[in-house]
Amino acid sequence: MLDNPLHLLLNPKSIATAGAGNNPLKMGTLQALSILKDGWQGTFYPVHPTEKTVLGHKAYATPLDLPKAPDLAMLIVPTAQVLPLFEQFAQIGTKRVVVVSAGFKETGKEGRRLEERLNEIAAANGMRFLGPNCVGFVNTAQSLNATIAPMEARPGLLGLASQSGTYITQTLAYLRERGIRFSKAVSCGNEANIDMVDVLEYLGQDEQTRAIILYIEGIRDGRRFIETAQRITPVKPVLAQYVGGSAAGARAGLSHTGAMAGPDELYEGIFRQAGIIRCQSIEDLYSHGWVHATQPALKGTRLGIVTNSGGPGTAIAHNADQGGLTVPAFSETLRKGIAELIPGHASSANPVDVTFNMDMDLLSTGLPERILRSGEVDALVVHGAMGTGFMREVYPHVREVVGNPSLEEFLAPFKTDLSEKAALPERYGIPLVISSFFGREDNYTDVYRDHGIPVFDSPEKAARGIASLLRHKEIRERKAIVRPELPEENPSASRIIAEAIAAGQKALNEHQAKKILAAYGIPVTKEVLVATEDEAVKIARRIGFPVAAKACSWEIMHKSGKGLIALNIPSEVPLRDAFRSIRRAAGQTVPILVQAMIPGGREFVAGMTRLAGFGPCILFGLGGAFTEAFRDTTLRSAPLSETEAEEMLFDIRAKALLGKFRGLPAADTQALTRILQGLGVIALRHQEIAEIDLNPVIVAGSRPVVADALFILKGRN
């Protein structure tokens, strides 16, 4: 970890700030106050052109006046002042800088030029910097808060890398209320130098950090992101929210941090490939991340539920089931043991429903402990453990009945030491989360949150939080990813592409495309390109009727619905008719491709497209006439390991078609896997190819065969 640029940046012994003064309403001053007030023990140097002291510390007019080079400099100044200050810190030997100032590539061409100049200075002086256009960082292990809002003193377990500064500073009060504490949190900003992958790598190695969350508007180095995450996710959970996949989100991200967003389906596939658990809201990102950071790893799928109300118990069970967990009926032995503890009208089944019952020891300790030590559950959700919050609510109604005590006197008997109740997950090695409609005004919620037990404000959220642990169990248990060695470039494929480019083609015709596929071992239809009717008949006899006939020209990229393709031609006369009909529809004397008809009721699509930041990406999904209607596809970045390609097959909603289906045998998934891997090889070995579309890939019996293929070459207008 020492070679990671974040090590020195997050652990400086001295910090200089440029932009902090004595006005507490200025951003620079707020960040300096956070550094000084939240417990960091290093040396602080304010740099200010006019002030003699800043926040009680001697100020220096320029970096050149400092007594020694600080480990870290923070620049919170107008954009025009950034480059001169950056150069001066470089001159005195500072190696890490946080550029909080905005006004760089997120603003356009001139801002991009300024950002490039920062990188030039950094490279020439052995510097690394965070930002620009960021809000700093938090390192609770060092009690170092370099953001604008106060930080809780206690160290945490959850690491964050965010392309929005808000989510590491404006949310600190929100997180404090919910008991969620960062280990480290880094605002990446424009990522001109240190990027999110650097932060991810650092957090993956950081012993304090038990789970990692990412707020993403766009990834620039997709392959490095994937490969870094794949090293981390089998041992440490990584969760992410991506917001750039819609048109509105992409526009906002571009103006916000200069992020180049990609389609949502790309990031969905990339997260799966990387082993990252996706969250759809910032609330889930924090709360689910906190479950992963604080609770033991999930060992199975069995969930126990304890509740004081039937409705919440049912809601937990329903949402748990939707998340892949099971809510098993308890054994007769366990039910008898539970029945000994609860009133006769209560249910000892799972969920255990004690109905309205103010015996909180029973709800929070007695029943959970009996269930956890039974060995019949892998996780537990408790709803309704409450004390002072509920009593505060009923106080106005019962005050006269109990002798008119003050509120404090009334609540005093309920303010007991509850810390033992928060020890259950550690004692039994089984995850526990709480559902409660009360916040910190309730002593049960308060103690749970202060002792690292996640408390959700609805039963549904609690169930989804615990179900998130199942996603990481699946990631831990996925097959090993063995990066394949790419075969050498195929000379015949290279020759076909070169000849096409020399001839001015913007795409390959279907026959050329299939020759390249075959050269890389991808199964294609038996077919011959012909110029006359007689040739067509001769070839059809050799192949065997029925056959298909298609116009074959690179200028005709899409044939369906245009009279340019005829299928299931049974004999010679219909073939001659089809030959003439296709040429009439084409309006020219195009070659005709005669190919064997492939029997089979299952059609898939496979393909390749090049996407910014990720290079060639491979697609798989439901094909044929349903491709556009259902959009049931998944994407991954190439090259693909066998594991990654196989996972793609079962990523789609129509995955049942791959098994035995209506009398058809199971598809040969190994052959499909090889097709997807082969597409990655073709894309990486032949950079001249911009896009590949194989649709349909027909499963004939169990064997997949490419029935149609389109290759688009780069440079097409």
Domain assignment of residue 668, given as a range: 483-525+598-717
Q: Are strands 709-713 and 689-700 parallel, antiparallel or unpaired?
A: antiparallel
536 and 549 Cβ atoms separated by less than 8 Å: yes
Which CA distances in Å does 332 have to 342, 349, 372? 15, 9, 16
* Domain of residue 570, CATH code: 3.30.1490.20
pLDDT at 246 over 60: no
Portion of the chain with pLDDT greater than 90, in percent: 86
Q: What is the 3-state secondary structure (H, E, C) of 350-361?
A: CCEECCCCCCHH
Q: What average pLDDT does this structure show over 693-706?
A: 95
Q: What average pLDDT does this structure show over 95-111?
A: 94
Task: Flag whether the pTM goes above 0.85.
Answer: yes
Confidence of residue 257 (pLDDT cuts 50, 70, 90): very low
Q: Please, which residues have CB within 8 angstroms of residue 51's CB and are 6 or more apart in sequence?
A: 21, 22, 59
Could you give the residue ranges of the DSSP H alpha helices within 348-436?
360-361, 367-372, 388-398, 407-411, 424-428
Report the alpha-carbon distance of residue 469 to residue 237 in Å, rounded: 9
pLDDT higher at 557 or 163: 163
* Domain of residue 617, CATH code: 3.30.470.20
Which CA distances in Å does 239 have to 216, 266, 297, 457? 11, 16, 15, 21
Are residues 520 and 534 both part of a single domain?
Answer: no
Domain boundary among 265, 292, 319: 292
pLDDT score for 259? 38
pLDDT tens-digit profile of 189-200? 999 999 999 999
pLDDT score for 661? 85
Report the alpha-carbon distance of residue 354 to residue 365 in Å, rounded: 13
3-state secondary structure of 642: helix
DSSP secondary-structure letter at 328? Answer: P
pLDDT tens-digit profile of 571-615? 999 999 999 999 999 998 999 999 999 988 899 999 999 998 899
Nearest to 206 by CA among 6, 15, 14, 72: 6
Are residues 420 and 455 both part of a single domain?
Answer: yes
Report the alpha-carbon distance of residue 85 to residue 713 in Å, rounded: 47
Confidence of residue 557 (pLDDT cuts 50, 70, 90): confident
Strands (E), 108-193: 128-130, 137-139, 144-145, 158-162, 182-187
Q: Please, which residues have CB within 8 angstroms of residue 396's CB and are 6 or more apart in sequence?
A: none
Which tokens in the block code for residue 420? 């033992």
pLDDT at 256 over 50: no
580 and 558 Cβ atoms separated by less than 8 Å: no
pLDDT tens-digit profile of 613-624? 899 999 999 998
Report the alpha-carbon distance of residue 448 to residue 457 in Å, rounded: 13
Are residues 333 and 323 both part of a single domain?
Answer: yes
* DSSP H or E stretch at residue 305: strand 303-307
Q: What is the count of structural domains for the chain? A: 4
pLDDT score for 705? 97
pLDDT at 716 over 50: no
pLDDT at 234 over 70: yes
361 and 342 Cβ atoms separated by less than 8 Å: no
pLDDT at 227 over 90: yes
711 and 694 Cβ atoms separated by less than 8 Å: no
pLDDT tens-digit profile of 331-351? 999 999 999 998 888 888 899
Are residues 557 and 571 both part of a single domain?
Answer: yes
Report the alpha-carbon distance of residue 252 to residue 711 in Å, rounded: 33
Size of the chain in residues: 717
3-state secondary structure of 533: helix
pLDDT score for 415? 82
Are residues 451 and 587 both part of a single domain?
Answer: no
pLDDT at 152 over 90: no
Domain boundary among 578, 596, 614: 596
Are residues 169 and 180 both part of a single domain?
Answer: yes
pLDDT score for 68? 97
C-alpha gyration radius of the chain: 32
Nearest to 710 by CA among 690, 681, 688, 684: 690
Are residues 468 and 616 both part of a single domain?
Answer: no
Q: What average pLDDT does this structure show over 262-287?
A: 95
pLDDT tens-digit profile of 126-146? 999 999 999 999 999 999 999
pLDDT at 384 over 90: yes
* DSSP H or E stretch at residue 381: strand 379-383
pLDDT score for 247? 52
Are residues 365 and 334 both part of a single domain?
Answer: yes
Domain boundary among 242, 271, 292: 292
Are residues 304 and 388 both part of a single domain?
Answer: yes
pLDDT tens-digit profile of 505-549? 999 999 999 999 999 999 999 999 999 999 999 999 999 999 999
Sign of CA dihedral 259, 265, 267, 268: positive
Report the alpha-carbon distance of residue 243 to residue 253 in Å, rounded: 8
pLDDT score for 717? 43
Could you give the residue ranges of the DSSP H alpha helices within 178-246?
196-205, 222-232
Are residues 422 and 313 both part of a single domain?
Answer: yes
Confidence of residue 3 (pLDDT cuts 50, 70, 90): confident
Confidence of residue 252 (pLDDT cuts 50, 70, 90): very low
Report the alpha-carbon distance of residue 475 to residue 275 in Å, rounded: 6
Q: What average pLDDT does this structure show over 474-491?
A: 94
pLDDT at 159 over 90: yes
* Domain of residue 423, CATH code: 3.40.50.261
631 and 483 Cβ atoms separated by less than 8 Å: no
Report the alpha-carbon distance of residue 369 to residue 421 in Å, rounded: 10
Report the alpha-carbon distance of residue 338 to residue 634 in Å, rounded: 46
Question: For residue 653, is it left (φ>0), alpha (ψ between -120 and 50) or beta?
Answer: alpha
In one-letter notation, the amino acid at residue 145 is N
pLDDT score for 34? 97
Confidence of residue 663 (pLDDT cuts 50, 70, 90): confident
Are residues 256 and 355 both part of a single domain?
Answer: no
pLDDT tens-digit profile of 399-456? 999 999 999 988 988 887 788 888 899 999 999 999 999 999 999 999 999 999 999 9
Confidence of residue 255 (pLDDT cuts 50, 70, 90): very low
3-state secondary structure of 119: helix
Report the alpha-carbon distance of residue 589 to residue 394 in Å, rounded: 88
pLDDT score for 262? 62
Are residues 590 and 653 both part of a single domain?
Answer: no
3-state secondary structure of 434: strand
